[in-house]
């Protein structure tokens, strides 16, 4: 396979805790320490590799946050049986995401206007019914292909009646541009749905196609909602991936 460096090079520019973390990862993968067993004690590891216990703890804490290892007070640091049923999916900013994949993102604003809140909007935004709110609809493109249909409902701030277009129209940015308040809390819900006739037309797919529905609610310091958003991601072009365990 590969050459193993089963020691810590203190003269290296790579931090000792990082070297030790990789070393322990490697030894776990190799089977020196099996799931259910414990690592040597922190003191022992420190002596073995000639580093201080705090540095050992730093390495173990990284492994612990990756769920590779689980320290137990008074007992030892156990090698975890990896739990691949517990998965974390990241949904990143559309523009950043596309750029990272080498795809050119863009957006087109379909509509932007004031509206009086109906019952549903009033409840979501916790404002009185018929209060004005700002409504946005836009399409996000990846290499000229429509990928996301985006709607936003934003609490109306009298001070700022403007409706300028933004290059990266995330809900957070639009809320900050049209409202003095900086959102401090976010609740997001990921669902699946089938597209309506109108939605599928805008996204250039067949009606009743499957899509991700990402709902987002933003709150200010006082736990008041300041914006609500619903984004429909084309199911045939979008997916989330997640890696667990020990990868290189």
Partner DNA sequence: TAGTGGTCTAGACCACCTC
Partner DNA sequence: AGGTGGTCTAGACCACTAA
172 vs 186: CA distance, rounded Å: 9
Residues 186 and 215 sit within 8 Å (Cβ to Cβ): no
Instruction: Give the range of 9-17, 84-92, 114-122, 130-138 binding a copy of itself by CB under 8 A.
Output: 84-92
Exposure string for 56-69, b = 16+ CB within 10 A, e = fewer: bbbbbebbeeeebb
Q: Please say which residue, 74 or 128, places its beta carbon nearer to DNA.
A: 74
24 vs 30: CA distance, rounded Å: 10
CB of 55 to DNA, least distance (A): 3
Q: Please say which residue, 13 or 128, places its beta carbon nearer to a copy of itself.
A: 13
Q: Is 180 in the site for a copy of itself (CB under 8 A)?
A: no
Burial of residue 77 (CB within 10 Å: 0-12, 13-18, 19+) is: buried
40 vs 76: CA distance, rounded Å: 8
206 vs 178: CA distance, rounded Å: 35
**In the window 86-125, what residues touch a copy of itself (CB under 8 A)?**
86-94, 96
Instruction: Give the range of 10-18, 87-95, 115-123, 134-142 binding DNA by CB under 7 A.
Output: 10-18
8 vs 23: CA distance, rounded Å: 9
**In the window 28-47, what residues touch DNA (CB under 7 A)?**
38-39, 41-44
Burial of residue 155 (CB within 10 Å: 0-12, 13-18, 19+) is: buried
Q: Is 14 in the site for a copy of itself (CB under 8 A)?
A: no
147 vs 144: CA distance, rounded Å: 9
Q: Is 10 in the site for DNA (CB under 7 A)?
A: yes
146 binds, among a copy of itself, DNA, none (CB under 5 to 8 A by kind): none
Out of 52, 188, 196, 198, the only residue in the binding site for a copy of itself (CB under 8 A) is 188
Q: Is 52 in the site for DNA (CB under 7 A)?
A: yes
CB of 172 to a copy of itself, least distance (A): 5
Q: Please say which residue, 14 or 130, places its beta carbon nearer to a copy of itself.
A: 14
Which phi and psi angles does 18 have, rounded to 5°? -75, -40
Out of 156, 211, 225, 226, the only residue in the binding site for a copy of itself (CB under 8 A) is 211
Rg (CA), the chain: 25
User: What does the binding site for a copy of itself look like in residue numbers (CB under 8 A)?
Assistant: 29-31, 35, 65, 81-94, 96, 170-172, 182-194, 208-212, 216, 218-219, 221, 235, 239-247
């Amino acid at each position: 396979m590969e050459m193993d460096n089963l020691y810590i090079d203190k003269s290296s520019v790579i931090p000792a805790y990082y070297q030790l973390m990789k070393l322990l990862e490697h030894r776990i993968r190799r089977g020196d320490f099996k799931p259910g067993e414990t690592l040597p004690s922190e003191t022992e590891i420190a002596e073995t590799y000639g580093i201080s216990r705090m540095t050992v703890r730093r390495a173990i804490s990284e492994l612990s946050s990756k769920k590779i290892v689980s320290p137990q007070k008074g007992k030892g640091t156990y090698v975890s049986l990896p739990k691949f049923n517990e998965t974390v999916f990241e949904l990143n900013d559309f523009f950043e995401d596309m750029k990272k994949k080498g795809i050119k993102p863009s957006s087109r604003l379909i509509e932007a206007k004031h509206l009086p809140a109906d019952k549903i909007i009033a409840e979501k935004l916790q404002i009185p019914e018929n209060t004005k709110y700002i409504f946005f609809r836009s399409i996000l493109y990846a290499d000229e292909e429509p990928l996301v249909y985006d709607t936003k409902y934003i609490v109306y701030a009298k001070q700022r009646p403007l409706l300028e277009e933004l290059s990266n129209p995330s809900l957070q940015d639009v809320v900050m541009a049209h409202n003095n308040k900086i959102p401090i809390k976010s609740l997001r819900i990921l669902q699946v749905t089938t597209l309506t006739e109108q939605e599928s037309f805008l996204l250039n797919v067949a009606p009743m196609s499957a899509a991700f529905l990402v709902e987002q609610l933003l709150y200010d310091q006082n736990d008041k909602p300041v914006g609500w958003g619903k984004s429909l991601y084309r199911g045939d072009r979008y997916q989330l991936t997640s890696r667990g365990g020990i990868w290189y």
